[in-house]
Amino acid sequence: MEATFYLSAAVAVAATLMVVTRASAVHALLYLIVSLLAVAVVFFVLGAPFVAALEVIIYAGAVMVLFVFVIMMLNLGTSAAVKEREWLSPRMWAGPAVLSALLLAELIYILVWNVPGTATISGRAAVESKEVGITLFGPYLLGVELASLLLLAGLVGACHLGWHTESGWGSRSESLSDRRGHENG
């Protein structure tokens, strides 16, 4: 089982390096998804299947969908359409597909050869979701609440930055400029 740990860790490091070195946001996004999936496999191998499931659902699922929406919202017209055609080339999908295939093969190996209920690579039994909940909302309650406030502050900041100031959106700057125009005219 140590080989599966090291293989998934190597995939995570390789995918993360590709995220940092890609010039295209879409390419980096694909490699980021592979990196998050590899980290989920690392958690699974270490005996934390609940954390691995959360990694896939929250990060590789929900957060990546938000990134895709941001990329879609930043569409700049016809020049962006030409770039999108280049992004959809099969060559672009080769790297993430190979890394994802390695992770899938490794996960199948783990599920087929690992008997449920046995100890994992760490030598301890798997951590269950009840234990995670008791720990998070017991001694680490303050940290969980601070993290939720940080996420709320990020959400409020994102809403503030995304607020449109163009005409037709009812912005305050528009009403001030209209008043100045009526006063001069």
Q: How far apart are CA 17 and CA 13, in angstroms?
A: 6
pLDDT score recorded for residue 119? 45
Q: How far apart are CA 58 and CA 65, in angstroms?
A: 10
Q: How far apart are CA 165 and CA 171, in angstroms?
A: 5
Ranges of each domain in the chain: 2-127, 137-185
Q: What is the phi/psi pair of residue 20, to 5°?
A: -70, -30
pLDDT score recorded for residue 155? 80
Contact present, 130 and 49 (Cβ < 8 Å): no
Q: Is the pLDDT of residue 153 over 50?
A: yes
Q: Which of 155, 51, 170, 34 is nearest to 104 (CA)?
A: 34
Count Cβ neighbours within 10 Å for each residue of 150-172 and write b for 16 or more, e otherwise: eeeeeeeeeeeeeeeeeeeeeee
Give the pLDDT confidence of 12-71 residue by residue, as tens digits.
Answer: 999 999 989 987 777 888 888 899 999 988 888 887 888 888 888 888 777 777 777 776
Residues 91-114 have a mean pLDDT of 82
Q: What is the mean pLDDT of the chain?
A: 76
Greatest mean pLDDT among 55-59, 88-92, 109-113: 55-59
pTM above 0.75, yes or no: no
Q: What is the dihedral of CA 21, 27, 33, 39, to 10 degrees?
A: -20
Q: Is the pLDDT of residue 117 over 80?
A: no
pLDDT score recorded for residue 107? 82
pLDDT score recorded for residue 122? 54
Fold of the domain built from segment(s) 2-127: Four Helix Bundle (Hemerythrin (Met), subunit A) (1.20.120)
Residue type at 123 in one-letter notation: G
Residues 82-101 have a mean pLDDT of 77
Residues 61-85 have a mean pLDDT of 70
